[in-house]
Chains A and B, each alone.
Chain A
Amino acid sequence: MDVVAEDKNLSRLTNPGPDDQLRAILKGSSFDDYNSPLFIAWQLNSACNLGCLHCCEEAGHSMPDEMTKEQALDFCEQIAELNIPYMAISGGEPLLCPHFFDVCESIRSHNISLKIETNGEFIDEKTALKLTDLKLRSVQISLDGATAETHERLRVEGDWDKAIQACKYLVKNGGNTEIVFVPTKFNIHEVGDVIDLAYSLGSYGVYTGKIMRIGRAAKNWDILSPSAEEYEKFFDVLKEKTAAYEGKMKVYYYPYDVIEELKYRLECPSASLLVVPNGKVKLIGPLPFICGDLKKESLSQIWGNYKKAWQNPEVIEFTKKVIAEPKLLAESNNWRQI
């Protein structure tokens, strides 16, 4: 029996990007060899209480045609039937979805590993306890600043104190809590302090990487995008903090940007699907292509569509255009059926 991958960040493991080591390890098992996805990222809803300047989903209001509770639970059953090991639920703000806990309970009843991405603002002591009882892989809280001022400048209408309090409640109850930090011109200088803060809060890990030029981030790119020098310092701090917290807390960062990711994906798509709130399934976040609709097709059929879609000349041509002209990333939320 061979251990082919060990102690890798989950998203890297199930979503191997331009990582030579992981690429070598998983050689011979391309996405096409898998009978079903290894990982599903599910944007459960589009509603959100915040209006973050960088929001890749352009979240705010609910979509009129979001999946109903019954459709969502049927999807959970299909995930279990296909024996998919890993899932992440995001949004919008997933805790605003009325059937959020029903969905999580269903997924966890099949022992599927589940991460939740949240702004943390609806996690009071009682909710923290409910989340902890689900034995989640982790609850990831977005913290975009070491101070309320910085966090709330980017996270419009956000409340830094509530996000911090959410971490405290989760940690107190023994929940696996992680911090996610997205660097922009406004907050990139605070990354080191955010990591120190995460440690002092008892977090299991910190995730970060370059901001993706999609959604509202694409629209606000000129004011948000850090410079090359700022990124250089950022990665220096990350290296230093990774070493400093070794054995105490995980510091995960992905050094590539969306364009580098797309170049790699053209050659080597991941064994994962991205489901948006109305049940449509995207090829990958930064591209506008939809390869299926869970309201009309089974998950298994959509996995077949997904495999074929990466061979579709329209997808290949458009992806090459985006690589040559990153401004086209602004199209990512103008979905196109293929």
Chain B
Amino acid sequence: MNFTEHTKIREEKFGTVVFDTLTEKIFITDQIGGDILRLIEQGKDLPVILSVLHDNYDGDEQNVEKDVVEFIDQLKSSNIVSV
């Protein structure tokens, strides 16, 4: 999993900002979304991302997995990450 070429990610005071420079869309994520984006940036795949999040955040494992998968699907459908 990797960011598409036209995607720029920046950490700002108010959250992690994703710029899709092709469509000129801007996305802002909360802290957990930012963590997922950083892990993708480091080239981690889904099982690693899930295990890091599990270590860092409370919450039912299945719900976290469902949320992360949904989030990543959204990134894929918005053409921010490619597989």
For the complex, give the distance between the alpha carbons of A35 and B33 in Å.
19
- For the complex, what is the distance from the CA of A5 to the CA of B27, rounded to whole Å? 7
Q: CB distance B13 to A2 under 8 Å?
A: no
**In this assembly, does B82 line the interface, its C-beta being within 8 Å of a C-beta of chain A?**
no
Is B12 within 8 A of A35, CB to CB? yes
Within the complex, what minimum Cβ distance (angstroms) separates B6 from chain A? 6
Tell me, yes or no, whether A228 is within 8 Å of chain B by CB: no
Taking the closest CB of chain B, its distance from the CB of A114, in whole angstroms, is: 9
Q: A231 near B: Cβ within 8 Å?
A: no
Binding-face segment, A26-34, A178-186, A216-224, A315-323 = A26-34
A contact face: mostly helix, strand, loop, or mixed: loop
Within 8 A of A (CB), among B60-76: 71, 74-75
Q: How far is the CB of B65 from chain A (nearest CB, A)?
A: 17
| Contact of B29 with A1 in the complex, beta carbons under 8 Å | yes
Residues of A within 8 A of B25 (CB): 3, 5-7
A4 and B11 form a contact (CB under 8 A): no
Cβ-based interface call for A155 (8 A): no
Complex: A107 Cα to B35 Cα, angstroms: 28
Instruction: Answer whether A3 and B27 are a contact pair too, CB < 8 Å, given A33-B12, A33-B13, A83-B8.
Output: yes
A237 within 8 A of B: no
With both chains docked as a complex, state the minimum distance between the C-beta of A24 and any C-beta of chain B, in angstroms: 14
Q: How large is the interface on B (under 10, 10 to 19, 20 to 34, 35 or more residues)?
A: 20 to 34
Give residues of chain A (77-108) contacting chain B, Cβ–Cβ below 8 Å: 83, 85-86
In the assembled complex, which residues on chain B have CB atoms less than 8 Å from the CB atom of A8? 24
Specify the chain B residue showing the minimal Cβ separation from A8: B24
Q: Mark A36-65, 1 if CB is under 8 A from B, else 0.
A: 101000000000000000000000000000
Which residues on B are within 8 Å of A, measured CB to CB? 5-6, 8-14, 17-19, 21-29, 33, 71, 74-75
Query: Is B27 a contact of A1 with CB atoms below 8 Å?
Result: yes
Contact residue among B5, B26, B71 (Cβ-Cβ distance under 8 Å from A111): B5
Measured CB to CB, the residues of A under 8 A from B are: 1-8, 10, 13, 28-29, 33-36, 38, 83, 85-86, 111-113, 137
Measured in the bound complex, the distance between the Cα atoms of B18 and A3 in whole Å is 9
**Considering the complex of A and B, which 7 residue pairs feature the smallest CB-CB distances, nearest first?**
A113-B21, A85-B19, A85-B8, A33-B13, A5-B26, A1-B29, A6-B25
- In the complex, A336→B71 CA distance in Å? 49
Which residues on B sit within 8 Å (CB–CB) of A85? 8, 10, 19, 21
Task: Report Cα–Cα, A85/B25, bound state, in Å.
Answer: 12
Closest Cβ of chain B to A316, distance in Å, is 24
Question: How far is A64 from B17 in the complex, measured between Cα atoms in Å?
Answer: 40
Specify which chain B residues have a CB less than 8 angstroms from the CB of A28 in the assembled complex.
14
Contact between chains at B24 and A35 (CB < 8 Å): no
Q: Which residues does chain B contribute within 8 Å of A2, judged by CB atoms?
A: 27-29
